[in-house]
Each structure stands twice: as C-alpha cells, then as structure tokens.
Structure 1
Amino acid sequence: MTEANETLHLRILRRFDVSPEVVFNAFTNPESMQIWWGKNTTFDINLSVGGRWTITRKEGETLYKATGEYLEIEKPHRLRYTYGMPQFSPNSDIISIDITPEGAGCVVTFVQTGEDIASELRELPPGSISASEDGWQQGFDLMVDAWGKSA
C-alpha cells in the first residue's frame, strides 16, 4: 500500500489476537523470530539503540543475509531499525513497527521507507502488490498460523 506523495512507502496494518509483547518478541527474540523466518535461519542480535543485527537464511543453494541497526526501541510498542540486504543493494531502508493494544490483541502498523522500497513501488504496475509487501505479508501470515486467528 502506498500514499500518493513525494515519498513512496510501504504501509501494512495487521491485527493479531496476541499481546503486544508476543508480537514484539517475534521481531526481536531469535526463538520467537523462527516463527516467520524458519528454522534454517541464524540470528545475531544486539537489541539496543545503535546495536546491529544480522539475519542469515539459506534457501536451497542461496544464502540470504539481512542486516541493520536499531534506531528506536520502546518495548513492547515500537521498534524502528534499518534494513538492508547487501547482496541486492548497498542501500538500507527504515522499518517502523508500532504495536497498539486493542482488546485482547493488538494492531501492528508496519511502515517501510527508503530509496529501495520507493523505487520498487514506482515500478509497480497499477493494482499490483510489491514483492516486498508480498514477503512481509507472508511473514505475518506465518505469525497468524502460529498464534491463531487474526482479523
């Protein structure tokens, strides 16, 4: 989803029937992160502002590596970090995740900004979703599968 302004960005809203703490851990705790990254993934995480993280995953013969730095951490309601995949681009986008309690669950507002996502969205045919959105949504779907129903 994008907004028509100078800076194209990806914005995803998802509701989960679990606490904000459970969702926050799915983005920061290696054991919980396996829900959506899979068991063939290694995590090196320094969960502190300015701390670096690296996630490495092997699919077939290809090794994928994502890296970044934590910019803001307000457990369990907000996480903001850089996100890059050096094998595809020298750039890093910024991921912002806001987790708002709602009833017995929570709503997650996920926003990806930066040159790489803006470029991807500019090239997108009307009515299509980007490969990035598809990938993030698949991850969120895996969380739903692990935790139960979400709206």
Structure 2
Amino acid sequence: MVTSTIVRVQRAFACTAEAVYDAWLDPHLARRFWFATPPSGEIVRCDIEPGVNGRFTIVDRRPTEADPESHIEVEHTGRFLQLDRPRRIAFRFGLPQFQSHETAVIIDIEPQGDGCELTLRHDLGIADDETLGMLERMEQGWTTILANLEQALKG
C-alpha cells in the first residue's frame, strides 16, 4: 500500500468565506501573503489567471539561509483544478527549482457565523525520506501564509 504525506493546517478568520476565497485569486492581495517571507522577503512577481485550468506564477525574493545578505528568487507555479466559490480551491503546485513533480493542494473554507474557518491540505506525495523531511518545513510555511493572509485581509 502506498501512503501519501499530507500537510494539514487550519485557521479561523473574522471575515466572510467570500473575502478569504477571493483573496487567493486577486493578484494585488495575493502578493501580500502567498509565499511572502517577511520581514525581509518580498514578492517580485504575482501572476494569477483565475479559472479552472488557469495558472499562477508567484516569485519571491528571500535571503539565503547561508548568507542573509544575499538573496534567492524562488518560483512557485500551479494550475487551478477546482474553483467553487466560496468553499473550495484546489490546485496543482510546483517548485520548479527544487522539485521535478507537482503536488496537490486543497483549500476548504467553511462559513462560521460572521467568519469562517480555512482548512488547507497539501499532499506531498509518497511518504519517503525526502517528503518526510519536508513535512515540518511545509507545515510551517503554510501556517505563515495563513497568518499573512489574515494580516492582508485586515488591510
């Protein structure tokens, strides 16, 4: 039996499910949270084509781990598989510089009173040493992205 490695993060938001959903597809807002690495990282490109089979490319410039004075640009790419406003966004996700394959991400947004709760699941693929080594880093990354999303929604 083949086992996948799944990253799962959740966050409650004090705004509507529609506002949270729309933020993922709006390039002007998305550049404030998708893959942004504060305090010294920045998004240098944010292209989003909303729609099933629409693509995105987001490039962030961040300090290298070895030398905080030098920077690397990291490209994040994807293709939307499912868009069901305001409840679900599913997409293929790639890091061309670091991985030869794409992975799958599903974002579910549940309205709750005046707010909503977002659950993100990222299927890293077959559970092997490489994906298990990425698990904690990916969980931390998505947790940071959701915290950045909350700040972006606050304006």
Q: Provide the C-alpha distance between the structure 1 equivalents of 2:107 and 2:74, rounded to a whole number of angstroms.
A: 22
Does the alignment pair 1:48 with 2:58? no
Q: Provide the C-alpha distance between the structure 1 equivalents of 2:98 and 2:133, rounded to a whole number of angstroms.
A: 17
- Match for residue 135 of structure 1 among 116, 138, 141: 141
Q: 1:36: how far off?
A: 1.3
Q: Provide the C-alpha distance between the structure 2 equivalents of 1:66 and 1:91, rounded to a whole number of angstroms.
A: 12
Alignment gaps of 5+ in structure 1? none
Does the alignment pair 1:109 with 2:119? yes
- Match for residue 107 of structure 2 among 97, 101, 104: 97
Task: Say if 1:91 and 1:115, in contact at 8 Å, map to a contact too.
Answer: no
Alpha carbons of 1:109 and 1:132: their partners in 2 closer, same or farther (altered >3 Å)? same
Give the SS at the match of 2:59: strand
Structure 2 partner of 1:68: 78
How many residues get paired?
139
Q: 1:114: how far off?
A: 3.3
Alpha carbons of 1:40 and 1:53: their partners in 2 closer, same or farther (altered >3 Å)? closer
- TM-score, normalised via structure 1 length: 0.81
- TM-score, normalised via structure 2 length: 0.79
Q: 1:139: how far off?
A: 1.3
Does the alignment pair 1:17 with 2:14? yes
Structure 2 partner of 1:88: 98
RMSD: 2.2
Runs of 4+ in 1 over 6 A off after TM superposition: none
Identity %: 27
Q: Provide the C-alpha distance between the structure 2 equivalents of 1:123 and 1:55, rounded to a whole number of angstroms.
A: 24
Q: Provide the C-alpha distance between the structure 2 equivalents of 1:98 and 1:146, rounded to a whole number of angstroms.
A: 19
Q: Provide the C-alpha distance between the structure 2 equivalents of 1:103 and 1:12, rounded to a whole number of angstroms.
A: 21
Q: 1:59: how far off?
A: 2.0
Paired residue type of 1:130: E
Q: 1:140: how far off?
A: 1.2
Q: Provide the C-alpha distance between the structure 2 equivalents of 1:141 and 1:49, rounded to a whole number of angstroms.
A: 26
Task: Give CA-to-partner distance per residue, 1:6-64, whole Å, 9 cap, x none.
Answer: 32211112111111111112211111113314553311111111112111122243111
Paired residue type of 1:87: Q
